Amino acid sequence: MNKVIIFSAPSGSGKTTLVRHCLEVFSELEFSVSCTTRNPRGNEQNGIDYHFISPDEFRQKISENAFVEFEEVYTDKYYGTLKSEVERIWNTGKTVIFDVDVKGGVSLKKYFGDQALSIFIMPPSIEELERRLVSRATDDAETIRTRVEKASDEMTFKDQFDKIVVNNDLDEAKSSVEQLLKNFLSA
Ligand code: 5GP
């Protein structure tokens, strides 16, 4: 059976670190590169971290029905999962791993059903999440404020996921997700 693994969390919960860890541990996984209209940050590369596209290109893809799901994650910042990415990865015999926002995660789980394992990564607290976003130093103060506000709302979706992992201690969170993935991939 073709499978997908969905990671969602409020921004700054350590989700991306955990997704990268899974990609290192499980060679049968491949990351689904999303489209976004936001600008690249830091060392991000086009085609590897995201397909960085213009709002016009994004609208074009919506009209072509190219997305499994898409969300306006922040005002005027669109993110979408390409159907072609899922097909490409499945055609290589691999399992798809997604790093998406909470609403996108719920949509993907609905779309893929039993083919999907959806995991919600929870920060220990909103205060800790804010501290992490500040220390990551990749976003300005305004962006961080927006993300922290959004996080409280996003927490309310956690029960719609198959599994919840609290990222209090990173090593513990890594072994929890490893175990969840091992069970799902071998089933
Ligand atoms: P960032 O700008 O920090 O890279 O991502 C912001 C949020 O958008 C993160 O929660 C990330 O997981 C999410 N995201 C990335 N790609 C997609 C996508 O294709 N669909 C949805 N719904 N969210 C995405």
CATH code, 47:
3.40.50.300
Number of domains making up the chain = 1
- What is the bridge-based pairing of β-strands 29-31 and 4-8? unpaired
Atom 14 of ligand 1: nearest residue by CA position: 100
Predicted confidence band at 13 (pLDDT cuts at 50, 70, 90)?
Answer: confident
73: which residues sit within 8 A by CB, 6+ positions away? 79, 101, 104
Q: Can you give the pLDDT at residue 107?
A: 98
Q: Can you give the pLDDT at residue 136?
A: 82
Can you give the C-alpha Rg of the chain in angstroms? 16
Q: State yes or no: pLDDT of 11 exceeds 80.
A: no
Ligand 1 atom nearest 105 alpha carbon: 22
Q: How many helices (H) and strands (E) does the chain have?
A: 7, 9
The stretch 47-59 carries a mean pLDDT of: 97
Residue 19 φ/ψ, nearest 5 degrees: -65, -45
Domain assignment of residue 125, given as a range: 4-186
| CA pseudo-torsion sign 80, 173, 42, 48 | negative
Atom 3 of ligand 1: nearest residue by CA position: 11
> Does the beta carbon of 81 lie inside 6 Å of ligand 1?
yes
Query: 172: how many CB neighbours lie within 10 A of its CB?
Result: 12
Query: In three state form, how does the secondary structure of 77-97 look?
Result: EEEEEEHHHHHHHHHCCCEEE
For ligand 1, the distance from its centroid to the CA atom of residue 54, given in whole angstroms, is: 16
Q: Can you give the pLDDT at residue 12?
A: 75
Q: What average pLDDT does the chain have? A: 94
**94, 85 Cβ separation under 8 angstroms:** no
**114, 5 Cβ separation under 8 angstroms:** no
Question: Would you state the torsion angle of the CA atoms of residues 7, 144, 73, 124, taken in this order, to the nearest 10 degrees?
Answer: 30
Ligand 1 atom nearest 34 alpha carbon: 19
Q: State yes or no: pLDDT of 147 exceeds 90.
A: no
> Does the beta carbon of 107 lie inside 6 Å of ligand 1?
no
Structure confidence by residue, pLDDT tens digits, 21-33: 999 999 999 999 9
Select from 35, 62, 99 the residue to mutate for testing ligand 1; criterion: most ligand atoms less than 8 Å from CB.
99
> Does the beta carbon of 108 lie inside 6 Å of ligand 1?
no
Structure confidence by residue, pLDDT tens digits, 68-100: 999 998 888 999 999 999 999 999 999 999 999
Predicted confidence band at 18 (pLDDT cuts at 50, 70, 90)?
Answer: very high
Q: Can you give the pLDDT at residue 137?
A: 80
**3, 184 Cβ separation under 8 angstroms:** yes
Predicted confidence band at 158 (pLDDT cuts at 50, 70, 90)?
Answer: very high
Q: Can you give the pLDDT at residue 74?
A: 83
Atom 12 of ligand 1: nearest residue by CA position: 100
In this prediction the pTM is: 0.92
Q: State yes or no: pLDDT of 106 exceeds 90.
A: yes
The more confidently predicted of residues 104 and 127 is: 104
Query: In 3-state terms, what secondary structure has residue 178?
Result: helix
Residue at token pair 């789980």? 109
